[in-house]
Amino acid sequence: MDPRNLGNSGTIVSEFALGTMTFGAEADERTSHAILERYLDAGGNFIDTADVYSSGASESIIGRWLGRHHGRRDGIVIATKGRFPMGAGPNDLGLSRTHLRNALDASLRRLGVEHIDLYQLHAWDALTPIEETLRFLDDAVTAGKISYYGFSNYLGWQLTKAVHVARANGWAPPVTLQPQYSLIVRGIEHEVVPAALDAGVGLLPWSPLAGGWLSGKYRRDEPPTGATRLGENPARGMEAWEARNADPHTWEIIDAVDAVARETGASASQVSLAWLSDRPAVTSVILGARTVEQLEDDLGAAGLELTDEQRSRLDAASTPRTEVYPYGQQAVQQRHRKPEGGR
């Protein structure tokens, strides 16, 4: 896997990160440890989790693995997140100093480490002043509890505001943003990607296979069955499947991916991941797997080189069709136009 800077920091991570939302839920501890081993053996060094994944079980599973492999800890970059409730109290959620202090300490205990390399805010909190949140994060960096911090699921203006508030106060800046991003979900290219590029913040895409739609496991008008993942709520998962299945654009994208897969001899997952890994501002793509076999296939994307023509075809097929003002073609042209003396 190619080494890359973690956003605008000097820390190096692999181009594919290991997401661990399945740990303790769809993958038991033994399977989770086998997935960890395979990922690290393949040259990966970046593990992403969150306190709410399986109600803390994901962090604990990783922590027990680290406890048995002390020699490998120094080479691993660990990322986790805090924001959502882990208890029933009024201060057991959000981005207040009170909640983040407790959440960070609890993550450190479950992971069994003295510091976390990347601490991420799992979502925006409109009730807590951003100055309070950023000051806590700066204090955590100074105290050595975290090396860097980043965000997840932020809008473009939220990222930009946080960057400028941190700069104005001389606090440590964010280094990453973790958004949903894939060939099927490209809406962040309107504002989030330009905001990240402007701030020098690296993107860590989650759901890079769009919940399995880009893996080749779905077929037109054939409802998923068996182990096909529909999320934690199967009823809502079926609603989402029906909506995507009914959209012709979905199948145009999948057809384009399948065509490139046949040309390259790669799997649909590998083609989709290789496309995403090379997008502007992307630092590391987060891989999620229930089994070692799933991970094995995804890891094959690391050595896959798509041609410019193949990328262009994937770009064209996956370009968002909904043009909501001001995010239409005019905005795209303005974004790429070179200055000609004046505005």
Catalytic residues: 53
**Helix/strand/coil for 286:** strand
3-state DSSP percent of the chain in helix, strand and coil, to 5: 45, 15, 40
Q: Do strands 116-121 and 146-152 pair parallel, antiparallel, or not at all (unpaired)? A: parallel
Strand partners, 81: 120
20-37 burial code (b ≥16 CB/10 A, e <16): bbbbbbbbeeebbbebbe
Residue 176 near residue 120 (C-beta atoms within 8 A): yes
Q: Give the residue carrying structure tokens 């409802």.
A: 223
Question: What are the tokens at 30?
Answer: 């033994």
Amino acid at the residue 297: D
Best CA proximity match to 165, nearest among 132, 187, 197: 132
Query: Angle at CA 318, nearest 5°, toward 317 and 320?
Result: 120
Best CA proximity match to 36, nearest among 17, 14, 13: 17
Residue 68 near residue 83 (C-beta atoms within 8 A): no
Amino acid at the residue 221: D
79-101 burial code (b ≥16 CB/10 A, e <16): bbbbbeebeeeeeebbbbeebbb
**Helix/strand/coil for 193:** helix
Question: What are the tokens at 24?
Answer: 């303790």
Distance between CA 11 and CA 239 in Å, rounded? 41
Residues 6+ apart with CB under 8 A from 196: 159, 177, 202, 203, 281
